[in-house]
Structure formats: structure tokens, C-alpha cells
Chains A and B, each alone.
Chain A
């Protein structure tokens, strides 16, 4: 087992499962990814997208159906999990209920035959890192969810693994604790200087934690990019939808010049930015609610008229649904006060209107 490494290379890692009716389906298709030392990678996608499958394949808990995993020059996909030596944090923590906090954290060291004095010192160190000092002798059942979570993290990092794998570690925590633990995880990652692979379905978590995000859908990678890129430049409509582009409209293309596209529907005219080559006369546009504004006076272009249909008050701003005369519903995040039934104009800058090929039967 290596303590140090330069990169972990996944090459076309594939995992098939037997589906219903004896038909096999790919839970993970040809995932190719190189993770460098010190990187924080988030695997992001809706449930069932294959992200946990990918994590279990890397950990060795699931055998691969195809492809290879190499840690530098060593092929590791044929090794059982106990010989890969990656630290893993499970979604429901998987703490050993019959062992004290200190025993739980020291388990990995004990399995490695580390001397007991050394174990005590390293466990104390890890407990300090996750701010659990003083809880050594408690059983996991006596801890709160957030504390259990930190025990699970300490248990995974105390063995100083080259790679730490986290499977939705925050999904069982309440909103406040989730934010706190999130920055804690980022801090621990920086202090250890190793690689972390983090599985989540929460785009905020992925954006705030990761150096690079791997967006997945149906076992297939959709985009691998920095958070900034994934947020502003989604590679396709799936990624856009997942990154919060709640307004997806199907419009007719009336003109294309460079990457500027003009589109039309009976009740609106839009200019947008093309993201992928278009085919045919229709296209889908994706717009984030935050990037639309309720206009006070008619602007030159990209203004849609409609009537306020619902207002969800959200503190700093409100989520306003505007319905156009043609019945299209637009979600707008508006800082100004509007009332139900009011006629409004919605404005969106052309660079915020992302144009993709029309979605086929989704």
C-alpha cells in the first residue's frame, strides 16, 4: 500500500449490472479521469447516475466490468479493498457500533499492525483535526450526527491514505451543520494535501468544494471541468439543467451569426449564445432564474412580456413565475416587489441565453 502518489488514472472504467429481465445495463460507462495529488474532485449527478458506483469501483468494493485503474504505475483495480488502502467515508458513516470513538478511528492503524503507543498518538492527532477531543471513550450511538460524521472522516484520514473517497457525507446532516462540515472537509483536504474524490448530488457542495467537477448522467460523463466552467458554460442541456438553468425553452431558430443565434416563438424573440452546433430549425435555450430581471422600461432586445402567476418570497429576493401570453412559464429570481396578476417585462442579456440543440424526446 502506497502512502504517496502523483496521480490516479481511471481508464475507461465500466461497471455493468444485471438489470430486470436478465438484461445488463451500464451503471458506469467508460469513465476516464486522471486525478493528481492534492486535487479535490467532485462526482456530481442525480441519484442513479453512477457516481456512487464509480466511487465503489475505485475503493474496490465493486469489481470492474471493464477498464483499468492505476495508481502511478501500479495497476490496482484487481486488488481487494483492504490492499488498496484508500480512506472512505460512507453516506451513513458505517461506524463500528461496538467500538469506542478512539477504537473506531484507530481501527485502520490496528489492521496495519501499528504499535499501540503510536496508534494512541495518531488517533489523538486525528481527533484534534476533526475537533472531537474529549469524546474518545464514547460509543458512536452516543454521538450526534455531526459528531459521527467527523469520526467517520477521522477514521478515514488517520491511515494517511493517498486518496480519500467520500460518498455523500453531508446528506444526513441538517442545513447549518452541512455548511460547517463542508468548510471543515475543505480545510482537512488542504491540510493533508492528498487527493479527495467526493460524491454528491448537491451542485452547491460540488461548486464550493471541488477543484474539478465530473458531471454524470446515466453512467456517462457529461462534462469534466472547473466549477466556474461548469457553472457558466455547461457542456450540454443535461448539465445546464443540473446546474440550475431552470428555464428550458423550445424555440425556432431564425438566424445564426458567429455564435449569436436569434430565436423566436409567437410571444417572444430572443438572442442567445450558441454552445453546441445546432441541427435543424429548432433549438433549446437554457436560462438561469437569477440572470433574468424584471424590467421597468422596454429594452431594445431580449424582453419577454408576461403576467405574474406566482411569487415565492425568499428573503433577499423572490422566485417569480411569469406566464407569457402563449402559456410559457418563466422562473425569474427578482429583487423587486411584484404582485400577482401584474403585467411585467422580463429581460435577459444574450450571453446568459445558452442555446443547445433541441432535446430529443427527454
Chain B
């Protein structure tokens, strides 16, 4: 019994702890969060990063994975190339981006030398830096997931559709997309949860005092700068709740779609 509950123990403790602030009533932490400007705004700032990053990852991975569904000599090469960032880790990506995308980085120098863009370029220490890093680190994950969904769909279905008059566009719209929809929703949820808990790149590549002050930074500060574990627990609870709401919304959309085997019959 106690063993079965073991994984939940930290959650239970944090939940209890969040209702036991050093000062004030049981809900004081939550009141504080939603009345302090540099706390409640972190929800919006995190969503503003996590939702676009997730959308970009899923929507860019989908057409590429769709193209990769047919085995070809390029399939392995491209898949490998796209998957490499998953092995790098956020800190290494951040370091690379500071070198390449910084104001004196290779990208800026290249653009200015070739006069493609002469204005000043800031892709680090702001919102865009964090967004780009979330896309780089999250994309392989979304891509691999969607690729496995796409290749799981029996290609004979598309062939059958083509003999019935469906051109490649219609095959995608009427056959692949509806069959992929539940998988895409699941992929969105997983990628979103991953992006929502962004921390290292928000600090290293963003403006952690300003536009990229995400909710995990607020929790970190409460716990390790103010040593207010109770408030930190409350922030963690709110963070979890927001994720849960988004995931619940997306997964409830799944019920609109067919969910079942994605092959065309027996045999």
C-alpha cells in the first residue's frame, strides 16, 4: 500500500506544504501568487512561450514526417540529422545559440556582411532566443513521435484513395489527417508539458527578469532565493494545474476523432 503510494508522496507533501504558509491562512500562498505582479504574470509568459513553441514543433514536424513515410535512401539520413538535437541537452543548445545567434555571432555577421539585413539582430537574451531554443530541443521529440504515427498508417489506404480519385492533397486531408489527429493531440500534449517546464534556456538565453520570467523561475526563486518552500510548492501546484487544463482541453478534442486501428481490414 505504502509502496504503491510512494511515487505520489512528493506530490502530496508539496500539496500539503502549499497550504501551510509561514504567515497567514491556508490560502495565503495562492492569494499572494495571484495578487503579486511578478508572480501571476509568469503564467501568461510561460504560455506565450510554450504554446507557440509546441505548435511550431507539431506543425513543422507533421509535413516532414509525412514526407518521410516512404522508405528511401534519404529517410535515414534526414531522420538522423533531425534527431541529433535531442542528444544535446538544453544547456549545450543554449551555449551554441549564444555563439551563433548573439549580436556578434556568426549569423549576425553573415547577414550584415551580405547586407541581407542591416539592422541590429537580437536573437539571444530575449523572448526569441528562448522560443528558438524550445523549437530546437523540442522538435526532434515531436518529429519522432509523429513519424511513428505516420508510418503506422497502412499506405494501401492512400493507394485505395488514389484509385477512387483522391489526389495527394486529398489523400492527406481525408485519410492521413483524420487518422493522425489523435496522435497529433497526444504529441501536442507531451511537447507542451515539456516546453511549459522550460527553465535552463529561459535563464541562459532569455531575459529572466523580464519577458521570459517563466513560472519555473518564479518557483526556483521562491524556493532557493527566498527559502519559502511553501510558496514554491504553491507555484508548482499552479504550474501543474495549468498544464493539466491545457492537456485536458486538447485530449477532450481527441474524442471528436476516430480512435482505433489504422489499417484497412483483415489480413
Please give the residue numbers on chain A whose beta carbons come within 8 Å of chain B beta carbons, in ascending order: 1, 59-61, 80-88, 90-98, 107-108, 111-112, 139-141, 145, 148, 152, 155-156, 159, 165, 171-172
Q: With A60-B163, A95-B160, A97-B263 given, can you name 16 additional A-B contacts, CB distance below 8 Å?
A: A59-B163, A81-B163, A82-B165, A83-B165, A90-B160, A93-B265, A95-B265, A96-B160, A96-B174, A96-B175, A97-B260, A107-B161, A111-B165, A140-B264, A141-B261, A152-B265
Question: In the bound complex, do residue B163 and residue A92 qualify as a contact, i.e. CB atoms below 8 Å apart?
Answer: no
Q: Choose among A81, A85, A97, A152 the residue with the greatest number of B CB atoms under 10 Å from its CB.
A: A97
A172 in contact with B257 given A61-B159, A81-B162 (CB within 8 Å)? no
* Residues of chain A with a CB closer than 8 A to B82's CB: none
Q: How far is it, in angstroms, between the C-alpha of A88 and the C-alpha of B258 when the chains are bound?
A: 25
* Residues of chain B with a CB closer than 8 A to A94's CB: 154, 156-157, 159-160, 264-265
Minimum C-beta distance from B177 to chain A (A): 10
Residue B28, interface by CB 8 Å: no
* Residues of chain B with a CB closer than 8 A to A156's CB: 163-164
Q: How far is it, in angstroms, between the C-alpha of A302 and the C-alpha of B137 when the chains are bound?
A: 83
A159 in contact with B260 given A94-B265, A98-B178, A140-B265 (CB within 8 Å)? no
Q: Could you show 7 A-B contacts with beta carbons less than 8 Å apart?
A: A61-B163, A81-B159, A87-B164, A92-B266, A94-B160, A140-B264, A159-B164
* Residues of chain B with a CB closer than 8 A to A165's CB: 163
The total of interchain contacts (Cβ-Cβ below 8 angstroms) comes to: 105
Residue B166, interface by CB 8 Å: yes
Residue B214, interface by CB 8 Å: no
Q: How far is it, in angstroms, between the C-alpha of A96 and the C-alpha of B167 when the chains are bound?
A: 16
Q: How far is it, in angstroms, between the C-alpha of A36 and the C-alpha of B130 when the chains are bound?
A: 67
Minimum C-beta distance from B69 to chain A (A): 16
Q: How far is it, in angstroms, between the C-alpha of A80 and the C-alpha of B166 when the chains are bound?
A: 10
Interface residues on B, range: 20 to 34
Residue B191, interface by CB 8 Å: no
Question: In the bound complex, do residue B170 and residue A97 qualify as a contact, i.e. CB atoms below 8 Å apart?
Answer: no
Q: How far is it, in angstroms, between the C-alpha of A107 and the C-alpha of B157 when the chains are bound?
A: 12
* Residues of chain A with a CB closer than 8 A to B174's CB: 96, 107
Minimum C-beta distance from B257 to chain A (A): 7
Residue B83, interface by CB 8 Å: no
Question: In the bound complex, do residue A80 and residue B162 qualify as a contact, i.e. CB atoms below 8 Å apart?
Answer: yes
Q: Choose among B162, B178, B260, B263 the residue with the greatest number of A CB atoms under 10 Å from its CB.
A: B162
Smallest CB gap from B154: residue in A:
A94
A112 in contact with B165 given A61-B159, A88-B160, A93-B265 (CB within 8 Å)? yes
Question: In the bound complex, do residue B162 and residue A90 qualify as a contact, i.e. CB atoms below 8 Å apart?
Answer: no
A87 in contact with B163 given A94-B156, A107-B174, A141-B261 (CB within 8 Å)? yes
Residue B262, interface by CB 8 Å: yes
Minimum C-beta distance from A65 to chain B (A): 19
A92 in contact with B265 given A82-B166, A97-B260 (CB within 8 Å)? yes
Smallest CB gap from A88: residue in B:
B163
Question: In the bound complex, do residue A96 and residue B157 qualify as a contact, i.e. CB atoms below 8 Å apart?
Answer: yes
Interfacial residues of chain B within 158-194, with CB under 8 A of chain A in the complex: 159-167, 170, 174-175, 178-179
